[in-house]
Structure 1
């Protein structure tokens, strides 16, 4: 089997020292142009590629890789986060290795271990709904770590979150202002931090408006678009609610499909904007937060730590924005 060419092979082909090849490969520019041309020609001829995995094991070298563990790459929310992180990392010369936990704690733990075994320089993690081990049980050293979208009680990490409770409160009050009183909350499991926070904001708004909460209107079994469609369809049939807060983008889409099937709709505000929200009649009102900013902020924090930032670990809470497009109002009589 043919072996991969090494820097020694390049040095021999280019008739230069191994140190000069190393400097050239690592981007140093104060090399005689004639020597640099010979090295470049030798690299092309031999098909040499730098082995960053091996290099990262040597003192002072890094893999130039950031590990990203998200919940579900198929969800547009997380693919937008990943793209934002990747853009910032790429500009700094880092590759992002992305994996999905599928909300499973044991799978999440295996992914984290695998990424650390591959000597990633930093980690950005969306903690799973079903937590595995405590981060305090992860063997040291842990590279610079940022928790994204959901916090974890671990002192040696930064976190970037959205103001979930504040956004849900604003959305609920908008429905109340438009005349709704029996507002259904449709979302995923309360085991998920974002769902708990959004439900807390919903409950706070009801109390603020003097509306007694009805537990039967809190639906936390909409894990998928299809489940949300079934739940909202049931609400439409039994007439138990006069409006819907959809607590994530999949719940919003499920609600819209239920409205379409029933031939009528309820006032609706969704959480997390999405491209097709503008296509409805009326367009869907949403609580939006800057997903790209969240991803970019997480990447900037990791890169800052890698550059030597030793400031205290912090949790950054990014604001949300209520965008009213008309779906928060009842259908015309």
Structure 2
């Protein structure tokens, strides 16, 4: 037989009506045992698999799939979130399809289109830093939609985010309270909303503690850990800093690389925990929010919408806490 076997092929093999095969593969139980056995034997012989994508097109049917688009799957932050979403989806009997935008707006748009063509029941999106299509321009219907980590102004979507400004304020305040007066901010592009919020929190803490901000100490082009390491080594060599707020986990890793390479060390607090944080001496202090909870919350919001929740869309803000492990003292 050429091509994939169909239900028509199964019906002919089992010598039963197509409608009977359809009822069987869709889980109906009011089929006699001998007939069910014949159908199953035909399915096994032909290697038939149900086409869920086609089934989802029919009225009342769903794909029982969620789509997730993140910025970079290699980042442990996003892989942890993806794991939490996948586990929650599995608990609800759903599969998860994951794509990485690589922070590119065009690729993000292509992934959105592809997932919607696949008739996914819900979408969880980490918006890219690169310019992407305005969600209001997408024709309906749009599946249940949640923006994760970075909110977007779109009234048909919920969002789950961390308290970025509040967490950055906590971290910077802790460094200032230990005598820091030249505290560096090291992070990624300000095109990322979370970076803008964390910079705002950093600035608030400086003002509250009577510390004048020095623009030379604000680094906003550390896209990778090595970029952060280069910037921090320069600041250490110039003896220009007495503390570092690393605005994401890659910047914190970059700080550890710079400490190792330069032989110098200053107080450090990072934003977002990471696996290696407790392996250094002293262990890295961080502002932390429960990223597993973030993923679980996003998935549960999707399932609530799929179950008929029509309440107003809203942004869910998860609290940030300061976890002090010793690196804040240098």
**TM band (smaller chain):** over 0.9
Match in the other structure for 2:41: 41
1:23-172 to 2 correspondence within 5 Å?
A: 23-172=23-172
1:253-309 CA-to-partner distances (Å, cap 9, x unmatched) read 011000000112110001111111111000100111111111111111112212222
Cα distance between partner residues in 1 of 2:34 and 2:307: 33
Aligned-residue offset at 1:174: 1.3
**2-structure distance, mates of 1:27, 1:279:** 51
CA RMSD between the two structures: 1.6
Distance in 1 of aligned mates of 2:31 and 2:288: 51
**For residue 196 of structure 1, what is the aligned residue in structure 2?**
196
SS in 2 for 1:265: coil
Match of 1:21 in 2: 21
- Partner of 2:27: helix, strand, or coil? coil
The answer for unaligned runs of 5 or more in structure 1 is none
> C-alpha separation between the residues in 2 aligned to 1:246 and 1:86?
29
Q: Distance in 1 between matches of 2:307 and 2:33?
A: 30
Cα deviation, residue 34, structure 1: 4.4
1:291 equivalent in alignment to 2:298: no
Distance 1:42 1:238 in 2: 76
1:38-95 CA deviation, whole Å, 9 max, x = no partner?
Answer: 4333322221101111112211112222111111111111111111111111222222
Q: Give a deviation string over 1:210-250, Cα, whole Å, max 9, x none.
A: 21222211110101111001001011001111000001111
Cα displacement (A) at 1:105: 1.4
Comparing 111-120 with 70-79, greater Cα deviation is found at 111-120
Partner-residue secondary structure (3-state), 1:309 = coil
2:298 & 2:29 partners in 1: Cα distance?
Answer: 31
What is the alpha-carbon distance in structure 2 between the residues aligned to residue 132 and residue 176 of structure 1?
38
Q: Show CA shifts across 1:169-192 (max 9, x none).
A: 111111122222211000001110
Segment drifting more, 248-257 vs 108-117: 108-117
Give secondary structure in 2 for the equivalent of 1:123: strand
Q: 1:10 to 1:253 in 2, by over 3 A?
A: same
**Take 1:264 and 1:28, find their aligned partners in 2: how far apart are those partners?**
69
Structure 1, 262-271 or 110-119: larger mean CA deviation: 110-119
* Secondary structure at the counterpart of residue 161 of structure 1: strand
**How many residue pairs end up in the alignment?**
330
Q: Aligned residue for 2:253? A: 253
